Amino acid sequence: MKKHVDFTLNDGIAVITMDSPPVNAFTDALHDDFCSTLATLAGQSVRVAIITGTGRYFQAGGDMNRFLTLKTLADARAFVELAQGFMNTIAATPYPTIAAINGYALGGGLEIALACDVRMASSSAILGLPEARYGILAGAGGTQRLARLVGPGRAKLLMYTGRQLTADQALNFGLVEHVSAPEQLLADSMAMAREIAGNSPIAVRHIKRCVDEGLDLPLERALALERDYWAGLIPYRDYLEGVQAWLEKRQPDYPDLPAHQDDSP
């Protein structure tokens, strides 16, 4: 049976690829295979994951035929809860995630990218949340994550109009962090992943959690959270390897974290 999402894992770097022609739409099959992939990776020592698509599409959003089956409020709530839960699962991965946006990332496709930590786009990519054109809104986290990323004014403009941005426009908009030539996107994403993976995995995970958990806190509480995460790193002793490597003018050699590591401070 064809897999709609598959992965490779080498040297702590996972590459998750959506391959569900023709447009990698958000179908039950893609959802189930993606969730299965994330569950499998949860049992592995992953330092960074790259999420990408095949062909001209990163992911083109929801399956339009599926929307026609939503007849009741209960149907609608069940569907949007499923979609939000899926994006939340991506966002909650303990390791950093890089969206390598190889092509069209519209609707749910952009919401997948927004659930990632870093977004790198091919210069041929097209990004947008066009839901208002179809009488709905970006209900899989799009309204909230986009506003937190680029600010409410820009987020509303993009969603009110349903505009589609080129990669360079998205870079200027603050929607992506890097633009690559199409043939260079995966190599650039791998280079970024290797740079991240070369650092202390527990420190990187603490940074991810500290930023994500502190975003909506008052500054005083967020700083207290930062203190807890900083102090919580000391028992792992990676800092000893980092300092020693600096003194010896070499690259540090940090150990992998065990699968299912509890990295709470």
Q: What's the number of CA atoms in the CB half-sphere (13 Å) around residue 214? A: 17
Do 245 and 252 meet the contact criterion of CB atoms below 8 Å apart? yes
Cα dihedral sign, 235-238-243-245: positive
Question: What are the structure tokens assigned to 130, written together?
Answer: 């066009």
- CA-CA distance, 83 to 111, in Å (whole number)? 10
Is 81 a known active-site residue? no
Cα dihedral sign, 154-160-163-164: positive
Residue 92 CA, distance from chain mean position: 9
Catalytic residue among 81, 131, 177, 248: 131
CA distances from 20 to 16, 33, 84, 104 (A): 13, 10, 20, 14
CA distances from 129 to 25, 60, 193, 210 (A): 14, 10, 27, 28
Residue type, 16: I
Is 177 a known active-site residue? no
Active-site residue set: 111, 131
